[in-house]
Amino acid sequence: MERKINRREKECEEKQSNSEGSEQEKEYKTSLITLNVGGYLYITQKQTLTKYPDSFLEGVINGKIMCPFDADGHYFIDRDGLLFRHILNFLRNGELLLPEGFRENQLLAQEADFFQLKVLSDAVKSRWEKEQLASRETTFLEITDSHDRSQGLRIFCNAPDFIAKIKSRIVLVSKSRLDGFPEEFSVSSNIIQFKYFIKSENGTRLVLKEDNTFVCTLETLKFEAIMMALKCGFRLLTSLDCSKGSIVHSDALHFIK
């Protein structure tokens, strides 16, 4: 008799455990929400979408705002599906994190306003204003040639991206081997220093990357930097000691943009 009672108790416990497990599984499944935003499907948790009270998404999920469904029964929101990933990332992380080079601040601010996320909207607008302010700042470029063995040609620019362009333009080619910058070049985020005399092995030449024109003198390197500056929108402000009739032979060149 006691065995039968124990067995029944065990069966009841198992049923209760299975029932609780199925309830938890059911609750977990219902916590997952699929959104169709402009044709892009996003799956996330209910708690993520309802993180900010009185937002559009919180209103939709909690039934405060009527929202249509697509053919598969997913919530359909007629907004920019690509930009929505930034909205969702903000809901997940609680801060604005955008990829490098992001240029759609105005569109994202509009999306944030639609979804009634004031914190996000303010963050995007603040980022946009900072970028506009930075774009209005003057960029300086200085090319100096000391004609000295230890110094040689020096290129300074307060815009690291321009220095990176010059760096990528000039490479060291030794026969069929691509080695990058030679040791005689000193490179930082704002400065490239070309020593006047560059030691090279037999068969090693400096070569311009795009058109394979061989570089034999620092004057050629200087000319290349000047041409690149003009192509990038810099204008010549001053040139020192241009008595030889060419800016390539000047001791110092100053550009602004």
* pLDDT tens digits, 195-235: 654 554 555 555 555 555 555 566 777 888 888 899 988 98
Q: Which residue has the higher pLDDT, 35 or 164?
A: 35
In this structure, are 238 and 145 located in the same domain? yes
DSSP codes joined into one string, the chain: -HHHHHHHHHHHHHHHHHHHHHHHHHHHHHTEEEEEETTEEEEEEHHHHTSSTTSHHHHHHTTSS---B-TTS-EEE-S-TTTHHHHHHHHHHSS----TT---HHHHHHHHHHTT-HHHHHHHHHHHHHHHHHHTSPPEEEEEE---TTT-EEEEES-HHHHHHHHHHEEEEETTEEEES-TTEEE-SSEEEE-SS----TTEEEEETTT--EE-SHHHHHHHHHHHHHHTT-EEEEEE--TTS-GGG-SEEEEE-
Number of domains in the chain: 2
Q: Supply the pLDDT for residue 177.
A: 41
Model confidence pTM above 0.95: no
Domain that holds residue 122: 25-134
- On whether residue 6 sits in a domain, the answer given is no
Residue 17 covered by a domain: no
Average pLDDT score over the chain: 79
Question: Do 65 and 158 belong together in one domain?
Answer: no
State yes or no: pLDDT of 39 exceeds 70: yes
